[in-house]
Amino acid sequence: MSTLNESSPALLHEVMQAHGGFALWNEAKRVRAVMSTGGALFLMRTTRGVFRRTEVLADLHRPYVELRDFPRPGMHGVFDGDLVTISDASGAVIAKRENARDHFAGLAKQLHWDNLNAVYFAGYAVWNYLTTPFLFCNDALAVTEGDPWVDHGESRRTLDAEFPNSVPTHNSKQSFHFDDRSYLRRHDYCPDVIGPYAVAAHYCDDHREFGGAVFPTRRVVLPRTGGGTVMPFPKLVWIDVHEVALES
C-alpha cells in the first residue's frame, strides 16, 4: 500500500508535488515507456544490444514489468517479483525461472548473464526507476531526510531509503539527491546481484512533463568510491527515455 501523510518527510511531500502529485501517481495503474539502454555493464555481461528501443510496462503498485520484443522481436520478458519468464509471439512461456535473484551467485554469473538473468536485472531496475518517486510512498519502505550533499558545486537535499527484502531493488540502503526544484538528480546504490565492488552513482537529467507527471529522460550510471567520489568513466549504464506516460 502507498500513502503520503503528515508522518512522511517534508521533502517527500515536495518531491511528489514536483513530479506531478501523489494523487496523479496513486490513481494510475502503470508507467509505459520506450527507452534505449547500453553501457559497459551490458557489454561485460554479453547482453549487448538487446535493450535498444525497448517498450516497457511497469506496474505502479507491485513489482511487475513487461519487456516487449525481448530478447527478439515478437517475444517478451516478464519480471514478476522473484519470478521471470520469456514468452514467444503466441504468448506461450518458453523459459521460466523462480527464485530468480538466487541465480546471480557464483563466478559464472559474474561473467555472463543469460536472458532470464537479464530480464530479472532489467525488470527490477526499470521498476525502481520508473516508479520513483512514487516508490518512496510504499509503506514497506523506511524513508527519512538525510544530510545535504554538495555535488558539482550544487547543494542537494537527500532522501535515504531502506528497502525490505520484499521489495526487489539494488540493495537495502540507498540515497536519493534532489535539486532546488525537488527533481531527482542522483541515486546512490550498490547492486547486490553484481557484487560489493559495484558502487554506483546514477545521474538523472533532462526532466520533462508527460501528462502532468515529471520524469528524467536521460540517465547515466558511473562508478563511485565508498566515500562518494564519482569517477567520470567507465559509463556503466546509460538510459535514454524516448516516450513515457502514466496509464490508468
Count of domains observed in the chain: 1
| Band of pLDDT at residue 3, cut at 50, 70 and 90 | very high
Residue range 83-138, pLDDT digits in tens: 999 999 999 999 999 999 999 887 656 678 889 999 999 999 999 999 999 999 99
Residue 42, Ramachandran bin (φ over 0: left; ψ between -120 and 50: alpha; else beta): alpha
Place of cell 551467485: 105
What is the structure's pLDDT at 107? 62
List the CATH number of the domain containing 67: 2.50.20.10
Residue 46 domain-assigned? yes
- What's the rounded mean pLDDT across residues 203-230? 94
Residue 40 domain-assigned? yes
Tell me the CA end-to-end span of the chain in Å, nearest whole number: 17
d(C-alpha 6, C-alpha 31), whole Å? 27
Query: 33: how many CB neighbours lie within 10 A of its CB?
Result: 22
Domain residue limits at 77: 10-247
Residue 2 domain-assigned? no
Average pLDDT of the chain is 93
Does the pLDDT at position 35 exceed 70? Answer: yes
What is the structure's pLDDT at 151? 87
Residue 3 domain-assigned? no
Beta strands 173-178; 154-162: pairing state: antiparallel
Residue range 143-171, pLDDT digits in tens: 999 999 898 888 999 999 999 999 999 99
Residue 5 domain-assigned? no
Residue 161 domain-assigned? yes
- What's the rounded mean pLDDT across residues 222-227? 86
- The pTM of the full predicted model, rounded to 2 decimals, is 0.95
Residue 159 domain-assigned? yes
161 CB-side CA count, 13 A: 28
Residue 134 domain-assigned? yes
| DSSP letter string, 79-146 | EETTEEEEE-TTS-EEEEESSGGGGG-SHHHHH---HHHHHHHHHHHHHHHHHTTGGGGBTTSEEEE-
- Say whether 39 sits in a helix, a strand or coil: coil
Cα dist from 98 to 116, 117, 172, whole Å:
10, 11, 21
